[in-house]
């Protein structure tokens, strides 16, 4: 009796300590992930000039994933003929995992759209700067002329550039700060041309005209490539969506088969059905990004 009590006590201590270690590991991993998530979100928020605490985006991601999991389980309970907890938990987990990166992806899309609009407006800005220089204005006055045109987002970025120069920041450093902030290959060419012309005394008006022509040609080629790769991008979305739609369709048409598949186990405890679904989901995501990489052509 005493040995049984001692063994039970030792087993309880082992389980308790193991649980504490696992909880501490999960807590540390989640805090590190949240810190990295907030740091990356803060950079994107600064890039799109949104005045919002980065932690709110993380909270919004959690709320959105929880809502998606609840709606997924609710729809499954209403539409499905047979409810089972493994199926509900699986659908809820998938919906939560898909919805969690939504706000962050939306911010990144805003950044890409803002950068694309900036690159489109850069050609006209270079032409305006060239005309200002031909009229006898200085380079600072040419930059101020672009900043006062009230064309977002290029006017906002040039206003920040002009403000840095007025505060005493050297023009070369201010231009480099703008390059780092925008991450635009087109403006990096402009910045390098302006810095080189200031150092060597080259004719800046002719350089700006040539850069405007180069950017105009690059935009034409980019639009052409976008049209040519549209079919490949559409195939990526369709191929990725078809297995998911087929799974929901089979859940509605043959719920018993899907239920048996989800409850299938190996060695009596390994959920082989759920493991195969997770493997298929990973392969779908991998295939989607491979197709996106193939159809993405850098100029």
Instruction: Report the chain (299 residues): mean pLDDT per 10 consecutive residues.
Output: 52 56 62 63 53 70 84 72 69 82 83 85 86 84 85 84 88 88 84 84 81 86 83 83 84 79 72 80 85 77
pLDDT at 50: 53
Exposed e or buried b for every residue in 72-91, given b needs 16+ CB within 10 A?
bbeebeeebeeeeeebbebb
Q: Distance between CA atoms of 201 and 195, rounded to whole angstroms?
A: 10
The CATH H-level (homologous superfamily) assignment of domain 112-223 is: Type II secretion system (T2SS), domain F (1.20.81.30)
pLDDT at 4: 59
pLDDT at 257: 81
For the whole model, what pTM was predicted? 0.65
pLDDT at 274: 75
Q: Residue 207: name the closest of 141, 120, 133 by CA.
A: 133
Counting beta carbons within 10 angstroms of the beta carbon of residue 137, is it exposed (0 to 12), middle (13 to 18) or buried (19 or more)?
A: middle
């Amino acid at each position: 009796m005493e040995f049984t009590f001692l063994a039970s006590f030792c087993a309880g201590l082992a389980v308790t300590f193991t649980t504490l270690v696992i909880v501490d590991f999960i807590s540390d991993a989640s805090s590190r992930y949240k810190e990295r998530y907030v740091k990356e979100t803060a950079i994107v928020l600064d890039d799109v000039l949104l005045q919002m605490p980065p932690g709110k985006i993380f909270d919004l991601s959690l709320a959105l994933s929880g809502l998606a999991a609840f709606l997924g389980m609710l729809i499954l309970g209403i539409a499905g003929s047979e409810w089972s907890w493994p199926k509900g938990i699986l659908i809820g987990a998938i919906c939560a995992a898909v919805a969690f990166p939504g706000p962050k992806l939306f911010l990144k899309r805003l950044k890409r759209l803002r950068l694309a609009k900036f690159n489109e407006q850069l050609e006209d800005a270079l032409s305006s700067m060239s005309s200002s220089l031909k009229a006898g204005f200085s380079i600072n006055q040419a930059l101020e002329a672009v900043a006062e045109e009230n064309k977002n987002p290029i006017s906002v970025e040039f206003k920040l550039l002009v403000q840095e120069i007025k505060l005493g920041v050297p023009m070369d450093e201010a231009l480099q700060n703008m390059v780092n902030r925008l991450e635009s290959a087109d403006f990096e060419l402009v910045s390098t041309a302006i810095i080189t012309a200031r150092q060597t005394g080259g004719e800046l008006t002719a350089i700006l005209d040539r850069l405007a022509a180069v950017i105009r040609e690059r935009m034409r080629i980019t639009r052409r490539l976008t049209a040519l790769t549209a079919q490949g991008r559409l195939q990526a979305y369709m191929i990725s969506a078809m297995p998911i739609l087929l799974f929901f369709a089979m859940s509605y048409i043959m719920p018993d088969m899907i239920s048996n598949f989800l409850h299938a186990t190996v060695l009596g405890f390994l959920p082989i059905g759920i493991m195969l679904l997770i493997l298929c989901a990973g392969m779908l995501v991998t295939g989607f990004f491979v197709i996106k990489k193939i159809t993405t052509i850098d100029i």
